[in-house]
Amino acid sequence: MNILVTGAKGMVGTALVNNLKNIRDGKNRTRNIEINEIYEYDLDSTEAELDEYCAKADFVFNLAGVNRPENPEDFMKGNFGFASQLLDTLKKHNNKAGIMLSSSVQATLAGRFGNSEYGRSKKAGEELFFEYGKETGAPVYVYRFVNLMGHSRPKYNSAISTFCWAVANDEEFTVNDRSTELEVLYIDDLVEGMFDLLEGKEQHCEFDGVETVLDENGRYCCVPVTHKATLGEIVDLLEEFKSQPISLMMPKCPDGSFAKKLFSLYLTYLPTDKFKYAMKMNCDDRGSFTELVHTVDCGQVSINISKPGITKGQHWHNSKWEQFIVVHGHGLIQERNINTGETVEFEVSGDKIEAIYMIPGWTHNIINLSETEDLVTVMTCNEVFDPSHPDTFFEPV
């Protein structure tokens, strides 16, 4: 399959092309799609290139368009004019390849979009594509996207991109109304939706005002994985992400959640000098102990370094429990039940990584058996350390 992507250098085009290349080059084997060539068309491309691509393409993603022109009349020129040129070129070569149109929910011209010049230009483009499909028999797929969330230029046409950039770069910004709600589609979900389309698994819909209504016989297509959040919720999440290197608290980001996607996007706006941040190492003559990650409901992860011959621990807990995982060196872990006196010990090594539970009610220690090497241990705990309630009591094993 040869695929033409117009608007290939835009936010959506860049993401789509990158991931199409992953499939073409065998780096992504999760899809049943065979790709030979990917033709990238954008503003710096020539009409001759468009002519060549339209002659060879087996599928077309039309992502080209304008959304922030200097003059409102340029909406129609940019969104309708190029669409006409593209379709005329396909007809010239009698190419009935399937074609996808990136439109907008503003094309509904409903509610707050009733007077949208952008929406009118998108609506005109939609009708042009539908007529082209009737005339030629070529499959036409029109997607009315909501706000798109991906890495794009800040202070342009995406509030989320602007907020991400501002928070990541310590810039001032203004939220006019924290209660304003956005419906957003994450760029990775959009790309997966385009792969579904190439596999013949696209989802169809109709519109009730600006709301998408799934309908297998619908005129339009959609990517149904969208999220709704207020500007206030978005900014609060971004401030939480920003504080993570200081608090160590990993925000709750369940799989598929808006928070998880927003955190990934936020990180793409970090300046390179923020890629690295220092951890607080608690050091003494025995070695060091460093907390790495805190979580809201799954405790914390730390790393412990013990110098040769050193014994650490010698304490027990009522409810707190831990796992010790030696990743480098050679050590011995000992545990004793404080009530029964039963003892157990485990010889551990970075050559064979194992996890050992530190059981509540069992005093425990960890001994570096080496005379020359540090013992490096990853330690997980079911709770974040609370100095006001440490639940830790000295007791030699």
Q: What is the pLDDT of residues 139-156, one digit of tens each?
A: 999 999 999 999 999 998
The structure's pTM equals: 0.92
Catalytic residue among 39, 41, 53, 118: 118
pLDDT higher than threshold 90 for residue 159: yes
Q: What is the pLDDT of residues 287-301, one digit of tens each?
A: 999 999 999 999 999
Residues above pLDDT 90, as percent of the chain: 93
Determine the Cα–Cα distance for residues 204 and 197; give it in Å rounded to an integer: 10
Pick the closest to residue 146 from 199, 200, 205, 60 (CA basis).
205
Mean pLDDT of 271-300: 97
The reported pLDDT for the residue numbered 79 is 62
pLDDT higher than threshold 60 for residue 72: no
Pick the closest to residue 207 from 220, 189, 194 (CA basis).
220
pLDDT higher than threshold 70 for residue 34: yes
pLDDT-derived band at 208, boundaries 50, 70, 90: very high
pLDDT-derived band at 74, boundaries 50, 70, 90: low
pLDDT-derived band at 35, boundaries 50, 70, 90: very high
pLDDT-derived band at 133, boundaries 50, 70, 90: very high
pLDDT higher than threshold 80 for residue 80: no
pLDDT higher than threshold 70 for residue 257: yes
Domain(s) labelled CATH 2.60.120.10 in the chain stretch across 281-394
**Beta-strand pair 181-186/147-149:** parallel
Mean pLDDT of 314-333: 99
The reported pLDDT for the residue numbered 117 is 87
Mean pLDDT of 365-390: 98
* Residue 118 known to be catalytic: yes
* CATH T-level topology, domain 2-247: Rossmann fold (3.40.50)
Q: In CATH, which of 1.25.40.20, 3.40.640.10, 2.60.120.10, 3.90.105.10 is domain 281-394? A: 2.60.120.10
Lowest mean pLDDT among 66-70, 154-158, 187-191: 66-70
The reported pLDDT for the residue numbered 396 is 98
pLDDT higher than threshold 80 for residue 65: no
Domain(s) labelled CATH 3.40.50.720 in the chain stretch across 2-247
Q: Is 214 helix (H, G, I), strand (E, B) or coil?
A: strand
